[in-house]
Amino acid sequence: GSSDGKFLYGKFPDDFIWSSATSSYQIEGAWDVDGKGESIWDRFVHTSGKVYNNDTGDVACESYYNYKTDVQLLKELGVSHYRFSVSWPRVLPNGTINDINEKGITYYNNLIDELLANDIKPMLTLYHWDLPQKLEDHGGWLNETTNDHFNDYARLCFQRFGDRVSLWITFNEPWIIVRHGYGYGIFAPGYSDAPGTKTYIAGHNLLKAHAKAWHTYDDEFRATQKGTIGITLNTGWSEPRNASIPSDVEAAERAMQFDFGWFAHPIYYGDYPDVMKWQVGNKSEAQNLTESRLPKFTPAEIESIKGTSDFMGLNFYGAGLTFNDDNNPVGPPGYDNDKATAGAIDPAWPVSGSDWLKVTPFGMRSVLNWIYTTYPNPPIYVTENGVSDRPSSKENGISDEARTFYYRHYIDEMLKAIKLDGVNVVGYTAWSLMDNFEWASGYRERFGLHWVDYDSPNKTRTAKDSAKAYSKIIADNGFIDEPVSTTPVSGVA
């Protein structure tokens, strides 16, 4: 299934799920209210120079107070599901089960009840990056005891919310957590991984923590609550820079294995991809290390990780052109050097408000097909897809033709993957319901279907044109209109 560029008209399956997403730290604000504990993101943003403009999520969209408004936005959109995350330190201020903050539990109970009262089903992410700082003080994801605390926290959420929540995601984007948080140092907790070890150790612990929580759900809750639980992985699509150069083709596949396979391969097959074991092992040997920097799973761990995702959650934003980079071996040891690939972009691709994100709808169909053929045909939820801009005014921000173009075309490529290629995509989630705290980029990059007026007392939300376009796609369950122009428009409003 490669794309022929023609727009496909047609409908999605009748039971297709339409959703939109946010995450706790990015929208809630109320960072130190009602007994909430400090998270690693609270600590990170309060350290000067870490975030663009020194923006923080202290206040954000104040969804802690405005959640009923948020639910009305969802209702207006017509989605059947809402993907949000629980802030671990809001319910467990010191990270452990020894201190439960009932006010935090009440907030999520209220949100869930409000959703259900409006016929919207919750899709709950347990970990969207806001680790309790108290656990970080004891080593965070570099310390395996964090896995047990995560399991206790997950169990608490199943106990308290599982009577009304039947779709669970353990971790959002382990790749971003470990590369940005432990490798590049640009996200909390801000480690730069010079010896090339922390990234892999954190990733190893996240996989084991995920499996543990999956088993807790499977053993203790599935029979009564009858829900499903999985993980959300992100990847770009690595297109070979030149499809007739074998080393480009090989590099692109290697990049997919290092980005997505790193976490998906253990989940489907029990262990890391061979190419990763080979690359990291050889490079470790060249450093005269006696053991690979990539940790090993015990046979018991392999057995317990295999098969621990009822579905695959995919966050997809864009594609890049990949080629072999043999010069990388002279760089510092670590993930990028181990991967030994480099990336380029096609200058014809429309840009966005984020450096890393180019408007490349074809990548959606390609990545869905790659997952379909690389793993045993899992049901796929697209748990995030969307685009940023940096509008100069509210007026420009609301007239967001570039975002409408993006959604129509990425969703259409997903339709092709379903209809023409037979990929089992069961749901789609637009990131994001509203503009919010975009991590190290602060409030400058806006991903929302709704404009948030951060200067107004209620953080007023206003539907952008793209929200109306997305609503129409949902109402039609696809594309049923006469063909319209599909000429790309500039990515930056």
The contact set with ligand PNW (CB under 6 A) reads 23, 26, 172-173, 176, 234, 315, 317, 356, 384, 431, 438, 447
Query: How far out from the chain centre does Cα 431 lie?
Result: 9
Angle, to 10 degrees, between the axis of helix 145-161 and the axis of helix 102-117? Answer: 50
* Residue closer to ligand PNW (CB basis): 470 or 479: 470
* Residue closer to ligand PNW (CB basis): 349 or 431: 431
Report, in this order, helix, strand and coil percent for the chain, each rounded to 5. Answer: 45, 15, 40
The whole-angstrom separation of Cα 327 and Cα 341 is: 9
Pick the closest to residue 294 from 334, 253, 254 (CA basis).
334
Question: What's the closest the beta carbon of residue 473 comes to ligand PNW, in angstroms?
Answer: 20
Residue type at 214?
W
Q: Helical H runs in 306-436? A: 335-339, 362-374, 394-398, 401-419
Asked whether 381 and 18 are in contact (CB, 8 A), the reply is: no
Question: What's the closest the beta carbon of residue 195 comes to ligand PNW, in angstroms?
Answer: 23
Question: What's the closest the beta carbon of residue 40 comes to ligand PNW, in angstroms?
Answer: 14
What does the block give as tokens for 418? 């379903």
Question: What's the closest the beta carbon of residue 231 comes to ligand PNW, in angstroms?
Answer: 13
The whole-angstrom separation of Cα 51 and Cα 196 is: 24
Residue 359 sits at φ, ψ, to 5 deg, of -80, 105
Question: What's the closest the beta carbon of residue 275 comes to ligand PNW, in angstroms?
Answer: 21
38, 239, 384, 413: which is the annotated catalytic residue? Answer: 384
* Residue closer to ligand PNW (CB basis): 52 or 356: 356
DSSP 288-316: T-SS-SS----HHHHHHHTT--SSEEEE-
* Residue, CB closest to ligand PNW: 356
The whole-angstrom separation of Cα 295 and Cα 203 is: 9
Asked whether 127 and 191 are in contact (CB, 8 A), the reply is: no
Query: How far out from the chain centre does Cα 289 lie?
Result: 34
401 is known as an active-site residue = no
* Residue closer to ligand PNW (CB basis): 89 or 313: 313
The whole-angstrom separation of Cα 258 and Cα 477 is: 35
The whole-angstrom separation of Cα 124 and Cα 180 is: 23
Question: What's the closest the beta carbon of residue 481 comes to ligand PNW, in angstroms?
Answer: 29
Question: What's the closest the beta carbon of residue 130 comes to ligand PNW, in angstroms?
Answer: 11
Three state DSSP letters for 466-486 = HHHHHHHHHHHCEECCCCCCC
Question: What's the closest the beta carbon of residue 369 comes to ligand PNW, in angstroms?
Answer: 20
173, 239, 438, 445: which is the annotated catalytic residue? Answer: 173
Asked whether 317 and 178 are in contact (CB, 8 A), the reply is: no
Question: What's the closest the beta carbon of residue 438 comes to ligand PNW, in angstroms?
Answer: 5
Cα torsion through 476, 480, 484, 489, rounded to 10: 40
384 is known as an active-site residue = yes
The whole-angstrom separation of Cα 280 and Cα 335 is: 8
Asked whether 55 and 442 are in contact (CB, 8 A), the reply is: yes
User: How do beta strands 341-344 and 312-315 pair?
Assistant: unpaired
- Which residues carry out catalysis? 173, 384
